[in-house]
Structure 1
Amino acid sequence: MTQIDQVDIAVIGAGLGGAAAAALLLNAGFSVHTFEQAPEFTRLGAGIHIGPNVMKIFRQIGLEKRLEEIGSHPDFWFSRDGLTGDYLSKIPLGDYAKKEYGASYITIHRGDLHAEQINALPQDTVHFDHRLTDIEERDSDVLLTFANGNKVAAKLVVGADGINSMIREKLLGVEKPRYSGWIGHRALVNMDKLRASGVDLEPCVKWWWEQSRHIMTYATKNDQSEHYYVTGVPVDSWDHEASFVDSSREEMEAIFGGSHPVVQALIDATETVTKWPFWNRDVMNLWSQGRLVMLGDACHPMRPHMAQGACMAIEDAAVLTRALSISGMEDYASAFKTYEATRHARATKVQTISNANTWLKEPEDPAWVYAYDPMTADLA
């Protein structure tokens, strides 16, 4: 594509939330084009959780069965003491999730999920190598200028462009996100080494808690051939310009030395590991203005401790689509108000609990998260 003079809806960002928004809006009959700054699709990231609340949305998009085939199906969420191994909580998933919450709970590689989402979109509507550089609000549209020189006039713009969203800057001004004081180490482990250690590889999510740190581990493929872990470790500052940097097995051993043998086995099976800062923003009361609207990390970024960050972005996309379907393009202002009024309390609650890092550490009923159906829930 060299230039598009006019589109109805422009989605800025083709990540998990943006791709979901594009699919849902297209399925609802809207004309949608998606613009992504990355030069091409790549299998980025590592493990991610997709709860029943969002598998219901993928059912609507037509991806539920495919994702069930690819992803791992944990039977339980276990929280355990990181030193003794004592169980702190045991939350049933697996068949129980299907029965009680209405859909599967899966863990999957983010890149595998993202690939399925991108492949489900008409390829002539997804435009890579489009980094947004300027936004001009006009009477009847928004003029978008991209670094490659293309200009696009869109009647509505959906900002799915992450924590450093340019749409957010347009609405609220420039403000860098705040470092949370925590980093996460991420690694895909060597399965031969992990099996040789004799550790229990039952299909479950294990969260190992220690006084000032934790490590979470789970499979990312249905055949259990890929295993992933992520940590949460307090660190005073993040002094790197890059979004992540390399770590090492030696650094992991220094942090988690003396932990439970399963934790030690995970670290021993580590070949490459990276570390990432966790960023925060305060709760935002403005998600839209004029013809611009935001979703996901652009308006409610959160630490990953509830495993619901991507899920909240996809829920946003579902509710925004429903609101626009009712109001139509012309009454977008009403749709945006309905969307924000419906989503704000739930997203803020998840954001707050995620940042507090208390989710499922002790026994509790997660139905308010997992049983929720964004496709049928009441709109405000």
Structure 2
Amino acid sequence: MDRATRIAIVGAGIAGLTAAGLLQQQGYGVTVFEQAENFSRIGAGIILGASTAKVMRRLGIEDVMVRTGIKPDAFVSRDVASGAVLNEFVFDAVAERRFGGPFVNIHRADLHRLLVSRLKPGSIRFEHHLAGLDETGDGVRLTFVNGARVEADLVIGADGIRSVVREAIVGRATPRYVGKVALRAVFPASRAVGVPIRDCTKWWGEERHLLSYFMTERRDECYVMAAVPSDAWHADSPPGPGSREDFLAAFPTAHPDLRALLEATDNVSLLPICDRVRNDVWSAGRAVLMGDACHAVRPFMAAGGSMAIEDAAILARAIAACNSPEQAFHVYAASRIPRVGDVQRISAENSWMKLPGDTSWFFGYDPFSDALDQAA
């Protein structure tokens, strides 16, 4: 498409910012509309594999991302009750060469800041909560809650699991509560002195699990996230405060190593875990979806962020390679749907890396070498 194409991205999360950076790099005029008043250090950690490192490399922030976060020594799976090691996947130089990039744990806010640094000044408009879209024949009119109206040639919906752009494409539907609640905590590692904590460990129990990891090379801040069954929540339940006792009650048979970690938790929050029924309609006319807006996945494979970043790479390539939004969106969806479908299925199974198995299809993927012409 012509570089004069006006591109509006709704949502300044990881998906939207990655797409904006890649498109601006190719010479497109891109504006990102964000409903928040500003950015703040909220959220928690994110695990990124080698496929996403290749995207950060293209944006020129791979090295600083590594320095800001941590390259974990391994991903370790352990049994909740016995503490037995079920799997240890080493992330060393050999693995980096094999998959074509490093593995990084990082705070989402730090990654967000790095992505913002790659955008042209003035690219983000805050306090723009999308109210609706209208096709105008040769473009799209975006209407915002604050009364603003914007014309664009194409719109990218990167506005999350409750996407307004998604509603315009496939209709309104409530996200699906999966029957589990997430307990999350970010706390200083000094609270866990003497506790044997590896760089990245997943504890597997009956109908529940817990993931813990460091987010910087200093190993001074821990992130812990558990998923446990609960009938007391639903898709519209707001996040709320939790406590150390919630963690301890969720894992009554915890191995001493795990129990010591749980006793160190602080700053706990609770929120429902939701996804959406798979729907492979990702675009309509001049509007397209990416990330959680079109394929929200359960956070059991630590792959949601990776899928959104890969989406951005494929979508940016498709826009540059095709003559119209409709053709670009077709190429993008045809390329992404099979891979994302596999990730949605495996995430729902909650089986990823519990035991040794093939990981090359996931970590070794390169979104810049995927054959877009074959996908079309």
| Counterpart Cα distance in 2 of 1:239 and 1:283 | 19
2:195 equivalent in structure 1: 199
Percent identity between the two aligned chains:
39
Q: Within 2, Cα distance between the matches of 1:252 and 1:280?
A: 23
Letter in 2 for 1:201: I
Tell me how far apart the structure 1 counterparts of residues 183 and 197 of structure 2 sit (CA, whole Å).
Answer: 21
Name the CA shift for 1:240/1:160 in 2 (closer, same or farther; >3 Å).
closer
Match of 1:361 in 2: 354
Give the corresponding residue for 1:36: 34
- CA deviation after TM superposition for structure 1 residue 242, in Å: 4.9
Matched with 1:55 is: 53
CA contact (8 A) 2:187 2:221 kept: yes
The alpha-carbon deviation at position 306 of structure 1 amounts to 0.9
What TM-score results when the alignment is normalised by the length of structure 2? 0.95
C-alpha distance in 2 between matches for 1:345 and 1:294:
16
Whichever residue aligns with residue 31 of structure 1, its letter is: G
User: Residues of 2 paired with 1:67 and 1:321: CA distance?
Assistant: 21
Superposed CA deviations along residues 67-119 of structure 1, whole A, max 9, x for unmatched, are 01011111111111111111111112132331110101000111111111112
CA displacement, residues 26-52 of structure 1 (integer Å, 9 cap, x when unaligned): 111111100000110111211110110
- Please state if 1:126 is matched with 2:121: no
CA–CA separation in structure 1 for the residues paired with 2:283 and 2:274:
22
Question: How far, CA to CA, are the matches of 1:258 and 1:134 in structure 2?
Answer: 50
Aligned to 1:100: 98
Give the SS at the match of 1:322: helix
Alignment counterpart, residue 281 of structure 1, candidates 235, 256, 276: 276
Instruction: Write the letter of the residue equivalent to 1:150.
Output: A
* Alignment equivalent of 2:319, drawn from 317, 320, 324: 324
The reply to whether residue 261 of structure 1 matches residue 248 of structure 2 is no
Partner amino acid, structure 1, of 2:318:
A
Contact residue 43 and residue 115 of structure 1 kept, 8 A: no
- In structure 2, what is the equivalent of residue 270 of structure 1? 265
Q: Which amino acid aligns with 1:35?
A: F
Matched AA of 2:171: G
Runs of 4+ with >3 A deviation:
239-243
- Alignment root-mean-square deviation, CA: 1.4
Q: Aligned pair in 2 of structure 1 residues 167, 239: CA closer, same or farther (>3 Å)?
A: closer
Check the 8 A contact 2:190/2:220 in 1, yes or no.
no
Question: What TM-score does the superposition give when structure 1 sets the normalisation length?
Answer: 0.94
Structure 1 distance, partners of 2:94, 2:303, is 19
Is 2:343 the partner of 1:346?
no
What stretches of structure 1 of length at least 5 have no aligned partner? 1-5
- Work out the CA distance in 2 between the residues paired with 1:137 and 1:77: 47
Distance in 1, matches of 2:121 and 2:133, equals 25
Residue aligning to 1:157:
155
Q: Does structure 1 conserve the Cα–Cα contact (< 8 Å) formed by 2:237 and 2:272?
A: no
| Residue 222 of structure 2 is aligned to residue 222 of structure 1 | no
Aligned residues between the structures: 370
Q: 2:201 touches 2:212 (CA, 8 Å); kept in 1?
A: yes
